[in-house]
Amino acid sequence: MTHIEVYTDGAARGNPDGPGGYGAVLKFTDKSGELHVKELSDGFDKTTNNRMELLGVIKALEALNHPCSIDLYSDSKYVISAFNEHWIEGWLKKGWVNASKKPVKNRALWERLLKAAEPHNITWHWVKGHAGHPENERCDELATTAADENPDMLLHDDGGDLKGVC
């Protein structure tokens, strides 16, 4: 199974319901040792930070063409804890109700994320935001730029290519 590193971040201005964006960086080294990098970002007019954190992960996973072994890095404890602390398993058992017996927020995005993650073997890593981690800083830059400049749902794709391997 091909290995890929995925870094994601989300941002929202005036959270909730201000402009927001997500950023993702996908990195893959092919058999010849050549590094391939693809960057994704998108901006939205009215959203929340958590929605953008989720969408960054979703869009990164949906960009992959076949099952991969993935190390996924995010500074969102909301996203990472849902997997590493098994929140999702509890939500599914309880019919998308959280520990406070309230409906899980952003259920449609969580369901989309689960579908996008299904074919992959993912290890979820939390990284401290704004702490100098180069890929996390780049994702933050992509997300905030998208929030500030692309609130009409414009897509940024740098044209990077993973050569169809993932």
Consult the annotation and say whether 34 binds a ligand. no
What are 100's two structure tokens? 């406070």
- Residue 161 counted as an annotated binding residue: no
Q: Which residues are catalytic?
A: 9-10, 53, 75, 130, 140
The response to whether 140 counts as a known ligand-binding position is: yes
Largest CA distance in the chain: 52
The sign of the torsion formed by the CA atoms of 83, 91, 57, 52 equals negative
| C-alpha distances out from residue 68 to 10, 85, 95, Å | 23, 22, 29
d(CA 163, CA 133): 26
User: Are 7 and 73 spatial neighbours (Cβ–Cβ below 8 Å)?
Assistant: yes
Residue 152 annotated as binding site: no
DSSP-assigned letters across all residues of 76-103: -HHHHHHHHT-HHHHHHHTTSB-TTSSB
Residues tagged in the binding site annotation? 9, 53, 75, 140
Residues tagged in the binding site annotation for Mg(2+)? 9, 53, 75, 140
